[in-house]
Amino acid sequence: MREHSRLEIKNKLKKKDFSENVDIEVLLDELENNNYLNEERFTESFIRYRSSRGQGPIKISSELSVRGITQVQISNAMQNAEIDWYGGASEQREKKFGLQLPLEFKEKSRQMRFLMGRGFNHDMVNKAIR
């Protein structure tokens, strides 16, 4: 089991047959009041899990936005996460391509595209390639 955002639970409940008889917003408020639903906890858990799987901050932020988390919540959680994004980019590059740094432009470009696809920004990618 994992944490869910308010939007995720809302979408799941709308798919159920009983959703016509239940005020979903009131139910979600009640879940939040009882701390069964906590978007801060969800965001922290999501960032921790996705970063451990080798994803960068851009991709993680985008996925959180799709799940209904605000940019303010994302920014706060990213700052509090204390994750070494530069180290993560280097680790992903080494895991995929080995310890040897690329010398040719074509290979550098290939590795840069890979890291950007994982959600790392230009600065992180450049540091991992050099």
| Residue 57: closest CA among 39, 40, 38, 74 | 74
Q: By the 8 A CB rule, do 96 and 114 touch?
A: yes
pLDDT digits (tens, 9 = 90+) for 47-92: 999 999 999 999 999 999 999 999 999 999 999 999 999 999 999 9
Encoded tokens for 23: 């005020």
Ranges assigned E (strand) in the chain: none
| Cα 1 from Cα 21, distance rounded (Å) | 27
Output the average pLDDT for the chain: 93
| Cα 32 from Cα 90, distance rounded (Å) | 38
User: What's the pTM?
Assistant: 0.87
| Cα 62 from Cα 119, distance rounded (Å) | 9
For residue 110, pLDDT over 80 is answered with yes
For range 28-36, the mean pLDDT: 94
